[in-house]
A and B are shown apart, each in its own frame.
Chain A
Amino acid sequence: MNSRRSKLIVFIVICIFAGMVGYTSFAFDEVPGADEKVGKVVEEYAKKAGVEEREPYINTDKGDLLLFLFAFSGLVSGFYLGYNWRKIVAEKAPVNRVAIRR
């Protein structure tokens, strides 16, 4: 796979994601998580079983606090992933090094 083909694939993936997000935002007023949707089904049975969902012990679902934590964790994971991935794939790439399986 050459560099031009890789770029084309990345471009297509970005277009698909942009299309998905764009269409969803126009077509639906609310876009809840699947867990929330399934939660309504589960809640019904859970009540009968005598249990119910409760708040997390550390409740960070408070407006922008959760948004910050999602963005921050994405940032940290993304940097870690990208840095190590580059180290393994690009910097240590053995063009024709013979691998040794232990």
Chain B
Amino acid sequence: MHISEGLLPAGYALAYSAGAALCVGKGIYNYNRESRKNPMYKQLTGIFAAAVFIISLMPIPVPITGTCAHPAGTPLAAIFMGPAVTTMISAVSLLLHALFLAHGGITTLGANTLALGVFGGLAGWAVFRGCRRLGSGIFIAGVAAGLLGDLFVYFGTSIQLALAIHGDVPVWKVFVAVYGAFLPTQGPLAVMEGLLTGFALNYIARVRPDILYNFKIIGEEELAGLRGGLANEQ
């Protein structure tokens, strides 16, 4: 999803950067507010920033297509930190990618931040909350959030590119061509990201259910149930 340096016309690059800057601003505000309330917030933000930085850079080979791609990591981060703070985390990670790792670019930083943080984070967060409201368990909701959040990152990149470089060709045609090129590699990785998100949530629910409670992922009743399970295990 790293749109390379120079690939966006100046007007679009500026528009995407302005959109991303607004979301990052909201993320900084939320981060300051929440870290005053919750002492663990800063530490977990650091953990998720490191995780997103490395996960969104790690090329994983997909044997079906013979290509490599990377997961996003932002759906899991957004479930804990919320989509705005996830966008802030994404911006920092992508800036480091662009500066030192020849991935993405400075002029495309806004577009990449929107795709990774806003599209991926918001979709993951919304799908997780939606699934939970419909009564699904943490694992299933996590799998759905990871899977769809990952696919939405590439949906975001494709729509941004289609809007910016379609020229005389209809936007939808460019979108289908770009997203269609991403999907064979990204589909299997999205399944993997879904499972990773589900297992990570399940693991935290097992060893530190209070973290899920403090981050409003589970309610009091569910916490009591998880604590009961933990006490029985011990």
Query: Which chain A residues numbered 31 to 52 have a C-beta less than 8 Å away from chain B?
Result: 31-39, 41-42, 45-46, 48-52
Tell me the smallest distance from the CB of B29 to a CB of chain A, in Å.
18
Q: Is the CB of A77 within 8 A of B54?
A: yes
Given contacts A31-B68, A33-B59, A77-B50, contact A54 B5 (CB under 8 A): yes
Contact residues of A with B, CB < 8 Å? 1-2, 9, 20-21, 23-25, 27-28, 30-39, 41-42, 45-46, 48-61, 66, 69-70, 73-74, 77-78, 80-81, 84-85, 87-89, 93-102
Which of A59, A66, A95 sits near B234, CB closer than 8 Å?
A95
Among A49, A56, A69, A89, which residue has its beta carbon within 8 angstroms of that of B164?
Answer: A49
Given A20-B61, A84-B46, also A45-B169 (CB < 8 A): yes
Q: Does B167 contact A (CB under 8 A)?
A: yes
For B183-214 the 0/1 string (1 means CB < 8 A from A) is 00110000000000001000110111111011
Asked if residues A69 and B4 are in contact (CB atoms below 8 Å), the reply is no
Q: Which residues of A contact B135 (CB under 8 A)?
A: none
User: What is the distance, in angstroms, from A22's C-beta to the closest C-beta of chain B?
Assistant: 9
B19 within 8 A of A: no
- Which residues of B does A touch, CB under 8 Å? 1-2, 4-9, 37-38, 40, 43-44, 46-47, 50-51, 53-54, 57-63, 66-69, 96, 98-102, 105-106, 161, 164-169, 174, 177-178, 181-182, 185-186, 199, 203-204, 206-211, 213-214, 216, 223, 227, 230-231, 233-234
A31, B178: Cβ atoms closer than 8 Å: no
Contact B101 A66 (CB under 8 A): yes
A-B CB contact pairs (8 Å), 11 listed: A2-B233, A33-B68, A34-B67, A37-B185, A41-B178, A46-B7, A57-B105, A58-B100, A81-B50, A88-B40, A96-B227
Q: Contact between A99 and B102 (Cβ–Cβ < 8 Å)?
A: no
Known: A41-B177, A69-B101. A49 touches B9 (CB 8 A): yes
Q: How far is the CB of B163 from chain A (nearest CB, A)?
A: 11
A39 CA to B181 CA, complexed, in Å:
9
Q: How far is the CB of B19 from chain A (nearest CB, A)?
A: 19
- Contact: B213 with A101, CB < 8 Å? yes
Q: How far is the CA of A28 from the CA of B64 in the complex (A)?
A: 10
B165: A residues at CB distance < 8 A? 42, 45-46, 48-49, 51
